[in-house]
Amino acid sequence: MSMMQNLSAVADFFIRTSDGNLLGKVVAVLLALILFGAVFMLRRRIVALVIAAAKKLTHKSPAAAGIIDCFTKPLVGLCVLLAGYGALGILLAGFGVSQPRFISQLARAGVILLAAWGLLKASGPAVAAVRGGKGVLSETLAAFLSRIAQVIIAALAAVMVMDIFEYDVTGIITGLGIVGLAFSLAAQDTASNFIGGVVIIADKPFAVGDWIQTSTLEGVVEDISLRSTRIRTFKDALVVVSNSSLSADEIINWSRMSKRRVEMALGFAYSTPRETLQRAVEGIRELLAADENVVDPVTVAFNEFGESSLNVTVSYFIKQTGYADYIREKEKLNFKIMAFCEEIGASFAFPSRTVYLEKGKNPEDSL
């Protein structure tokens, strides 16, 4: 600002001494061009120095650097705006023309819009920094609060710009209140969806990236907005669910599992000796308990006499909860169980049925 004031003083000096002749106008044009050209060429350098100074002052805050970087482009625009405003003022003074009030209003509105631009970009990092920590809903909560902050910033910027151009802001706000009341009565579903979104954020049943299941669908949460939640199903279809219906539904969050259960039944042939079957049960139990990825409780028991097999129930938990890791670990353990049973001579049964024919009777006689 001091550079701009000095150039204005020089321009005024030449204008006064030239008694309104051509020299004063030429000097005014040259000074305006020098001011605007110098600032325009050095705008990125100037902003870089300002950003570096701001980061140096806030070096103790880890999140401050990210927030400050969001103002880089708005500050570049501010430099160009102020340079253009100053150059135009010098030029108009050189030609003896008073500056129109509209130009001042445009400049002030431009400053407000550039500031709003920077604040909108910084809302996300700022909300994340204020929230801090890594909660279950950290990503979701940051996105939700960032959207609310952006709406507030945009609304305030619009009101301030309208006030600069002398619009009746009070009347507009009152009118918006009446229209908003009528609109809210006609848009109860939207209001209920908004409340549902607030309930989801407050209750924290799931976060972005979680694998959830409701009464109607199952998939991974991609986004949570004020109105709806986007869920990507395992068939790669994107489903948009209203927050009101989702908050009222039963939700299973599979991503919150600390361990995953495996249940299966092993059928051994009826020809298997009792000692071999007992050894198989005990050996499978020890095999599972010794595995580093298996979590207690481990249950292996001779459960029942089936129609064509001696059934052994196997139930245990593994640490891997992701589907791909879960399947790989389960496969590895199945091969271990199979190898152990082959080693001790315990053969698995397959569905079979024995038919007995009474001697001396023709089966066709009974038809």
Sorted by where each begins, the domain ranges of the chain are 2-179, 205-255, 257-344
Weakest mean pLDDT among 57-61, 83-87, 184-188, 302-306: 184-188
Nearest to 265 by CA among 322, 318, 334: 334
Distance separating alpha carbons of residues 55 and 78, to the nearest angstrom: 19
Check: CB of residue 283 under 8 Å from CB of residue 344: yes
Common-topology check for domains 205-255 and 257-344? no
Q: How confident is the model at residue 136 (pLDDT cuts 50, 70, 90)?
A: very low
Q: Which residue has the tokens 């053969």?
A: 347
Nearest to 318 by CA among 245, 257, 367, 274: 257
* Structure token digits, residue 167: 């619009």
- Sheet architecture: strand order including 211-213: 238-242, 228-233, 218-224, 211-213, 252-253
Distance separating alpha carbons of residues 153 and 116, to the nearest angstrom: 6
Distance separating alpha carbons of residues 364 and 367, to the nearest angstrom: 5
CATH 2.30.30.60 for the 205-255 domain, yes or no? yes
Considering the domain 257-344 in this protein, what is its CATH number? Answer: 3.30.70.100
How high is the pLDDT of residue 224?
Answer: 81
Which comes out higher in pLDDT, residue 95 or 315? 315
Mean pLDDT on 110-138? 75
% pLDDT > 90, the chain: 28
Radius of gyration of the CA atoms of the chain, in A: 38
Nearby residues of 283 by Cβ (< 8 Å), 6 or more positions away: 340, 344
Q: What is the reported pTM?
A: 0.48
Q: How confident is the model at residue 351 (pLDDT cuts 50, 70, 90)?
A: confident
% pLDDT > 70, the chain: 76
Nearby residues of 318 by Cβ (< 8 Å), 6 or more positions away: 259, 260, 262, 293, 294, 295, 326, 329, 330, 333
Mean pLDDT on 146-166? 84
How high is the pLDDT of residue 58?
Answer: 81
Weakest mean pLDDT among 99-113, 145-159, 163-177, 251-265: 163-177
How high is the pLDDT of residue 186?
Answer: 47
How high is the pLDDT of residue 165?
Answer: 83
Would the pLDDT of 181 be above 70? no
If you average pLDDT over every residue of the chain, what do you get? 80
